[in-house]
Amino acid sequence: MDNSANTRGPDAVKSKLLAAASACLATSPTDRQTHRATLETRVLTHAGCGADELTNSFGSITELMDAWFCERLAETQDQVNAIEEQSGSTFGERIEALTFILLDSLEPFPGVDHVLFRRYAAPLRSHFRDQLGKSVEAATTARDVPAVNLLVVDSAASRWVLAETIIRLVEESLADDTADRSRSAALVDRSLAVVTAVATDPVAQRVTDLVRYAWEADYLPFRRFMSSGSADETDEAYQADDTDDTGETDAEGDDSSDV
């Protein structure tokens, strides 16, 4: 009985192509330009697949590499989730873990440089970017993000900016040729510190609490105008304030004095 149909089913072909991509990227290329230009051919050769199988499984080398980067991000998110379960981490810890573990996941693949990352992972419509946005969204649920800040931090625009920041930092790290990528590591540290400070800054929450207290305690002078139904009612309220404890108004100007 021929089992080739089973061994080369859709899922099996996808797995072979992804494994072949890992193998090709695990070697350090002598000529990066040639390495990038011949990536598709080398992946197909290593997987023992034809171009039609690549087309049927992913569509093109672009979608294959996008899926490969998504696998690295999924592995990263699993580790980030484990850290969160153990320590109930803060926003800064989650974002730092997401960024640095993602960089670590690419470390075993010297064939991945900033050009490949920008070409296959960074495009606006890539699945990798979508998945990264979801990972960023999970980070905003950290205990140290004030509720008021979520109005901004948890918006689609803010998540996009944060995901874009991480993507650019990964690009800079992959392009860094200094020892241990020290130059880009310092950039990553400082950039994430700024992002964390913005997301967790308590000023907006404290201002909101102050305004709420002042409103409830009737310290805000304009509250009576906002809560008043009409000018006549406001005048009546002022007249009521002028009434003394006996219920009598000020007698000044009263002509009914004793003769």
Which of 162-166, 176-180, 189-193, 202-206 is the most confident on average?
Answer: 162-166
pLDDT recorded at residue 226: 53
pLDDT recorded at residue 191: 87
Can you read off the two tokens belonging to residue 184?
């880009």
Averaged over 46-53, what is the pLDDT? 96
pLDDT recorded at residue 207: 62
Per-residue pLDDT of 177-198, as tens digits, reads 888 788 888 888 888 888 778 7
pLDDT recorded at residue 3: 44
For 90, other C-beta atoms within 10 Å of its C-beta total: 18
Q: Is residue 137 within 8 Å of 183, Cβ to Cβ?
A: no
231 against 40, higher pLDDT = 40
pLDDT recorded at residue 6: 42
pTM beyond 0.85: no
pLDDT recorded at residue 181: 83
64 pLDDT more than 90? yes
Averaged over 32-40, what is the pLDDT? 92
pLDDT recorded at residue 259: 42
Pick from 48-57, 158-167, 249-258: least confident: 249-258
227 pLDDT more than 50? yes
Average pLDDT, the chain: 80
Can you read off the two tokens belonging to residue 186?
């310092």
Residue ranges of domains in the chain? 65-200, 206-240
Per-residue pLDDT of 84-130, as tens digits, reads 776 667 888 888 899 999 999 999 999 999 999 999 999 999 999 99
pLDDT recorded at residue 146: 66
- Give the rounded percent of residues in the chain with a pLDDT score beyond 90: 43
Can you read off the two tokens belonging to residue 85?
């379960």
